[in-house]
Amino acid sequence: MLFVGCSTIIKVGDQIERAATPPDAVNYVTTKPDGNYEVQLNDGRLAEKLTIISLRKFKNQGGYLQVQCELKNSSALRQDFNVSFEFLAADGRVIEGQRNWDTLQLEPGALHTYTATALRFEAVECRLRFLAK
């Protein structure tokens, strides 16, 4: 035990903590060809804090796809949300996206409009990714 050192203790502690709390699951909101959107919440904790009010998609002046997602912190505490996005072609391929997470800090009840613009003409749908802090 002594020679094993602290790393094992930390690893065991981490495993216990992970077992006691739900995992950080990524959540998705995806636009659909008919103009609607599909919400896929895999993390129950986020469902209690984040409300997707709307997800609009349109073409900007250059003809590139742009989406605007209106979010609300529906909890009673200030929350940090992490957002990222991917753009999809008509055949479902992911053609571009932002891999790093944007951190949004929202006060209770605060609304925020998150905007993402595609760089390629082929982008026709957008998949927003959300992660709780």
Partner 1 sequence: MNRLILSLSTALLVLVGCGTPAAYKDPNGRDLVVSLDQVNIQDFASAGAAMLQSMSNAPVLNQQPPAVLKLGTITNDTTVNFDTSLLLSKLTVPLVNSGRIVLLESDMAADAARQAQGAEGQVPQAQLVLKGKILEDRANAGSTRQASYVFQLTLVDVKRGVALWTEEKIVTKQGTKNTVGF
* Per CB under 8 A, 93 contacts partner 1: no
What is d(CA 111, CA 36) in angstroms, rounded to the nearest whole number? 20
Tokens, residue 119: 């760089």
- What sign results for the dihedral spanned by CA atoms 47, 36, 105, 129? positive
Footprint of partner 1 on 15-74 (CB under 8 A): 60-64, 66
What is d(CA 106, CA 22) in angstroms, rounded to the nearest whole number? 22
What is d(CA 81, CA 9) in angstroms, rounded to the nearest whole number? 30
Question: With contacts defined by CB under 8 A, how many residues of the chain interact with partner 1?
Answer: 27
In whole angstroms, how close is the CB of 34 to partner 1 at the nearest point?
26
In whole angstroms, how close is the CB of 74 to partner 1 at the nearest point?
22
Residues near partner 1, by CB under 8 A: 2-3, 5-7, 10, 60-64, 66, 82, 96, 98-103, 115-117, 119-120, 131, 133
